[in-house]
Amino acid sequence: MEQINADRACVQVFAKISAAISHEIKNTLSIINENAGLLEDFAQMTEDAGGIPPERVRSATEIIVKQVERSNIIMKNLNRFAHSADTYLAHGNLEETLSLIVSLTNRQAAMKNIKTNLSCPPDITISTNLVFLESLIYLTLLTLFQNSEDGSTVLIQVIDDAPDITICLKLKNEDDLSPIAYPDDDQKLLAEQIQASLSQEKNSLLLSFPASVD
């Protein structure tokens, strides 16, 4: 039953991520469409007046290219997260895993003008159920966002205390977090699946787990 409930929690995380990404893609398409219309206007103006300053055309095309690249990155991140569930036990680089989750929370962070800084040694390898770990980190990060002031800076720091690893998510300022519902039921279920422990200390949420699980 716990396995089923943990799977359900992962599905809910995937739904949250998909909803956020659909909004981001919609925004990029809107910008692309706006600038495509601008280029159309330029073409008409060229026919009517005989010329358009090259820098105006160049600016519009650069915006389109930038938004296409942005869309590709967004979809690549969604694809990476989706493939985390391909196998029950998977090997991964922790820094890359955390960078992925930070990217997947960009929209939620932007809505409150929150900056996220990641500090993780580049050579930490983990062997665990990645989709459970990623879902747990995602939900923990959202919990911190939801209980942070607009314009806050969130620091993600990794402590490698082999055989365990601790991920500390904290506010840059030293203001204490108000008592919050951490962990909630879904976070507890996910933590059990990867043998993780969760706690709150002052301005931080802590997630500790073994670097390798059976």
Q: What is the pLDDT of residues 73-132, one digit of tens each?
A: 888 888 888 777 777 778 889 999 999 999 999 989 999 999 999 999 999 999 999 999
159-210 pLDDT, tens digit per residue, is 998 899 999 999 887 666 777 889 999 999 999 999 999 999 888 999 999 9
d(CA 41, CA 48): 10
Q: What is the pLDDT of residue 34?
A: 82
d(CA 208, CA 75): 29
d(CA 62, CA 112): 28
pLDDT of residue 27 exceeding 60, the answer is yes
Buried b vs exposed e over 171-182: b needs ≥16 C-beta within 10 Å?
beeeeebeeeeb
Give the architecture-level CATH label for domain 90-210: 2-Layer Sandwich (3.30)
Residues 6 or more apart in contact with residue 186 via CB below 8 angstroms: 9, 12, 139
Residue extents of the structural domains in the chain: 2-83, 90-210
Q: What is the pLDDT of residue 51?
A: 64
Q: What is the pLDDT of residue 48?
A: 58
Q: What is the pLDDT of residue 125?
A: 93
58-74 pLDDT, tens digit per residue, is 788 788 888 888 888 88
Q: Which residue has the tokens 């090997």?
A: 91
Q: Report which residue type is found at 189.
A: L
Q: Which of 31-45, 145-159, 165-179, 199-213 has the lowest mean pLDDT?
A: 31-45
Q: Which of 6-10, 43-47, 125-129 has the lowest mean pLDDT?
A: 43-47
pLDDT of residue 42 exceeding 80, the answer is no
29 phi and psi angles, rounded to 5 deg: -65, -35
Residues 6 or more apart in contact with residue 195 via CB below 8 angstroms: 209, 210, 213
* Cβ atoms within 10 Å, residue 91: 11
Buried b vs exposed e over 149-164: b needs ≥16 C-beta within 10 Å?
eeebebbbebeeeeee
pTM: 0.79
